[in-house]
Amino acid sequence: MKLAVVGATGLVGSEILEVLDEHQFPFDELLLVASERSAGKKLSFKGKEYTVIGLSQAVSEKPDIAIFSAGGSTSLEWAPKFAEVGTIVIDNSSAWRMDPSKKLVVPEINGKALRIDDRIIANPNCSTIQMVLALAPLREKYGIKRIVVSTYQSVTGTGKAAVDQMMAERKGEKADMVYPYKIDLNVLPHIDVFQPNGYTKEEMKMINETKKIFDDPSIQVTATTVRIPVMGGHSESVNVEFKKDFDLDEVRELLANTPGVVVQDDPANNVYPMPLNAHKRDEVFVGRLRRDESQPNTLNMWIVADNLRKGAATNAVQIASYLVEHSMV
């Protein structure tokens, strides 16, 4: 097994390496890959020093699997080149997610859709992953008509430069501006670029990816995505209208029995999910479960997950593990 991590010097790339170690992913050879300007840098992993290589050299090495976290333009250019030499690419960017010829995979939900000839596999958007994982068992039981989601997303979703901006502002220092406004002590209802319909690209990702992952274009989804000055994970307020009525105790039981989901729902004792506690965790945390009393068959949920983990690195490594376990590599 020859494994490549493309974008190894970035926030998600670093997290991928941590998850590979924690999950004890089996590989014989590891290639750490980044842009040509980062080639030659040294990175340590599991007590061994690696020299970062460029993309051209990585393609010539013909890895079995390449986990990409290097941005959409890099993926559009280089993923097909890796695929041509037989590499299976698992891509964290938005480049391939809505391509009808590519699978958009959360292993617990639709891993069974993967086939041995899939050469480019898309990792969904971080905010989409945590929502659909929590909704999947409920959709199976009750059916879903409509989802209204508002997100409260960590600055880590933008990358290291955004974290640096927030921390500099917090110290009262001048910061390189990644966002159009100050982020510390502020809230920005603006993630990614605005589209002609008034939604942002991030909001449209959640809408379109949810339908694709569930393979159900009839689900109505609307989203408002918001950046807040926290680290540790993304939070989501989700209002979901089911096709059938539900029992709250049964909802809790279904979620508690879902792999990768942890129920934290004891408001009497101030127990509910928070990014502070989700940080560096692979699970998706769900709480504030309550009936929407304004209309029938509708549930309110609060969903939190570390966006660099299940929202990116962990999901990608889980896809790779699924391929290995099912002898697709």
CA distance 232 to 37: 29
* Neighbouring C-beta atoms of residue 288, cutoff 10 Å: 15
The phi, psi pair for 300, rounded to 5°, reads: -100, 135
Write the CA distances from 15 to 219, 275, 280, 309, 317, integer angstroms: 33, 16, 9, 7, 10
Question: Do 146 and 221 touch, CB atoms closer than 8 A?
Answer: yes
If we measure between CA atoms, which residue out of 303, 312, 265 comes closest to residue 284? 303
> Catalytic one among 23, 234, 279, 326?
234
CA distance 88 to 320: 9
Q: Where are the beta strands (DSSP E) in 233-297?
A: 234-242, 261-263, 284-291
CA distance 249 to 123: 32
Question: Do 134 and 289 touch, CB atoms closer than 8 A?
Answer: no
126 included as an active-site residue: yes
23 included as an active-site residue: no
> Any idea which residues carry the catalytic annotation?
126, 234
